[in-house]
Amino acid sequence: MSRSVVILLSLCSFFIGTTFAAQTQNNIHENKSSHHNIAVDGKNGADGNGHHGGKGGKGGKAGGTASNGGNGGDGGNGGDSGVLGHGGAGGAGGDGGSGGNGGQGGKGGNGGLWN
C-alpha cells in the first residue's frame, strides 16, 4: 500500500514540476521575443574617398502588434563624398509597428566640389 502511495506522489510531483518548468520556459521566451521588436536605427553610409558617399542604411521595423508596436528606427545618414563625388543619400526610416510611427529618414551626406 505504501509503495503505491509513494509511486503516486512521485508521479504527481513529476507532472507538477514539468508543468511549472514549461510555463517558466514560455515566460522566458515571451520576454526575449519582446526585445526583438525594438527597432534599431540604420547605419550611416560610408564616406567616399574621392568618390560618392555611401547610402545610409534603412531603419529597422518596429514590432507588429498593438501591444508592442513602437516607432521604426531612423535611417542612417549618407556618407560624405571625397573632393569630386556626390554625398550619399540618407537611408529611409523604418516602418512603425501597429500604433507606431515610421522612423525619420537619414540626412544626405555632404558632397565635394560637384555636389
Question: What's the pLDDT band for 64 if we cut at 50, 70, 90?
Answer: low
Give the mean pLDDT of the chain: 67
Assess whether pLDDT exceeds 70 at residue 58: yes
Question: What's the pLDDT band for 12 if we cut at 50, 70, 90?
Answer: low
Quick one: pLDDT at residue 18?
54
Quick one: pLDDT at residue 92?
78
Assess whether pLDDT exceeds 70 at residue 79: yes
Encode the chain in three state secondary structure: CHHHHHHHHHHHHHHHHHHHHHHHHHHHHHHHHHHCCCCCCCCCCCCCCCCCCCCCCCCCCCCCCCCCCCCCCCCCCCCCCCCCCCCCCCCCCCCCCCCCCCCCCCCCCCCCCCC
The Cβ of residue 103 has, within 10 Å, a number of other Cβ atoms equal to 27
Q: Where are the domains of the chain?
A: 1-28, 42-114
Per-residue cell: 29:
521566451
- Can you tell me the distance from the alpha carbon of 97 to that of 79, in angstroms, rounded to the nearest whole number? 28
Quick one: pLDDT at residue 45?
72
